[in-house]
Amino acid sequence: MDTVYEGDIRYRQYLSAQGKATAELPAWAKDPEWLTLCYRNMVLARALDSKAIALQRTGQLGTYASLLGSEAVDVPAGLLMRPEDVLIPYYRNHACQMLRGMPMEEILLYWGGDERGNASAQQRQDFPNCVPIATQSMHACGVATAIKMRNEKRVAVTFCGDGATSKGDFLEGLNVAGAWQLPVVFVVNNNQWAISVPRALQNGAPTLAQKAIGAGIRGEQVDGNDVIAVREAFELALERARDGKGPSLIEAISYRLSDHTTADDATRYRDNEELKKAWELEPVKRLRTFLHSQGWWDETQETAWQEEVNTMVQTATERYLATPAQPIESIFDHLFAELPKQLHEQRDWAMVKAMKGGTHHDS
């Protein structure tokens, strides 16, 4: 028999867990500017994350999906995408959203149970957080189809977790992206856990990136705790998509250092030893060690930045907490462009019921 196809999946890494170069660094990584910017934002994202969890624990925020451990996947994406690109996120992309201009108080507003957290003007055409797993991969293909039809130099970027790659929707997205060579980048943030189901029980293949091969698109694996590797992979994928060279799949190997959400308790299913080992690989410390070793960051800067970050997060929190709920009629007012006459009566009932001392309709 003849071999009709052979494929391989490459793994990209530049920084070891100890923050030391494991390969010749790209030229841009010899300049402190981008890497320190990236680091600052990773610290900011982590501070926002801690605050969100604290707010949830004290009853001031709803169920929240932590991004702890995803900072090196999310922050480079947010820095590298152009404003005119479109982010089609899952529910663990707050850092990317923040870097695309969404104010932190609006991110908190979303997790605080308010649709206005999906309505930030700064989000432009970005999609709101996608809660039904993997469905966003096809929305990204739809966005990319529109971009391609209009010959625009924009890219649709979509994220999902490792769990989402088990879904048909993810594969249908890859499939059409390959068939039509769409300007889309799929990022799988493989944080090793789909709530309580570990990566090993999700799929029999050694990598998730190789799903790209079946769709006829580029796929690669990257150390998702290494911002240099993530930037290299992401930049290449963005550039190719923008130049009409088709879609890419990036599997970023990270680790979910948090629970799945604040409603989850990972101690029920996850070995603490595994978590401890994962902390040794974590991305923020790794980058800080590297920056220290290059003389680009020191303790004084660290202390000053931590203070600044805390102030920023505190200010955002105060703004979030001071935002009053929307009026009840808002649940009708955005259902259609114009509320059908059939719903006017219910809208009136809802407003009366919501008034102080109000009662339900005509009962």
Partner 1 sequence: MTHEAITMVEAVNLALAHEMEHDENVVILGEDVGTNGGVFRATAGLKDRFGNRRVMDTPLAEAMIGGLTVGMASQGLKPVAEIQFMGFIFPALEHIICHAARLRNRTRGRLTCPMVLRAPFGGGIHAPEHHSESTETLLAHIPGLRVVIPSSPARAYGLLLSAIRDPDPVIFLEPKRIYRASKQPVPDNGAALPLDTCFTLREGSDITLVSWGAMVKETLEAAEQLAEEGISCEVIDVATISPLDMDTILASVAKTGRCAIVHEASRNLGVGAEITANLCEKALMDLQAPPVRITGYDTVMPYYRLENHFMPNTADIKDAVRQTLEFV
Which stretches of the chain bind partner 1, using CB under 8 A? 86, 88, 115-116, 118-121, 123, 125, 127-128, 131-132, 135, 137-147, 149, 156, 168-169, 172-173, 175-176, 179, 330-331, 334-337, 340-343
- Angle (CA) 158 274 258, round 5°: 45
Closest distance of CB 141 from partner 1, Å: 6
Which of residues 343 and 354 has its CB atom nearest to partner 1 in the complex? 343
Task: Enumerate helices (H) and strands (E) in the chain, giving the number of each.
Answer: 13, 8
Distances (CA, A) of 93 to 23, 65, 75: 29, 9, 9
Choosing from 46, 92, 94, 256, which is the catalytic residue? Answer: 256
Closest distance of CB 125 from partner 1, Å: 7
Which of residues 66 and 175 has its CB atom nearest to partner 1 in the complex? 175
Choosing from 100, 260, 286, 320, which is the catalytic residue? Answer: 260
Closest distance of CB 259 from partner 1, Å: 24
Which of residues 125 and 289 has its CB atom nearest to partner 1 in the complex? 125
Closest distance of CB 92 from partner 1, Å: 18
Helix then strand then coil, % of the chain, to nearest 5:
50, 10, 40
Torsion of CA 241, 253, 125, 338, to 10 degrees: 130
Closest distance of CB 311 from partner 1, Å: 29
Which of residues 59 and 168 has its CB atom nearest to partner 1 in the complex? 168
Question: φ, ψ for residue 301 (rounded to 5)?
Answer: -65, -40
Pairing of strands 193-194, 197-198: antiparallel
Examine the residue annotation and report whether 256 is marked as an active-site residue of this protein.
yes
Choosing from 269, 334, 344, 361, which is the catalytic residue? Answer: 269
CB atoms within 10 A of CB 85: 24
Examine the residue annotation and report whether 100 is marked as an active-site residue of this protein.
no
Which of residues 5 and 336 has its CB atom nearest to partner 1 in the complex? 336
Which of residues 111 and 297 has its CB atom nearest to partner 1 in the complex? 111
Contact 67, 107 (CB under 8 A): no
DSSP state of 26: P
Examine the residue annotation and report whether 116 is marked as an active-site residue of this protein.
no
Closest distance of CB 351 from partner 1, Å: 17
The residue assigned the tokens 């992401």 is 234
Contact 137, 167 (CB under 8 A): no
DSSP-H helix ranges across the chain:
32-57, 71-80, 94-99, 104-111, 135-149, 168-180, 211-215, 227-242, 272-279, 283-294, 299-321, 330-333, 344-354
Which residues are catalytically annotated?
Answer: 256, 260, 269
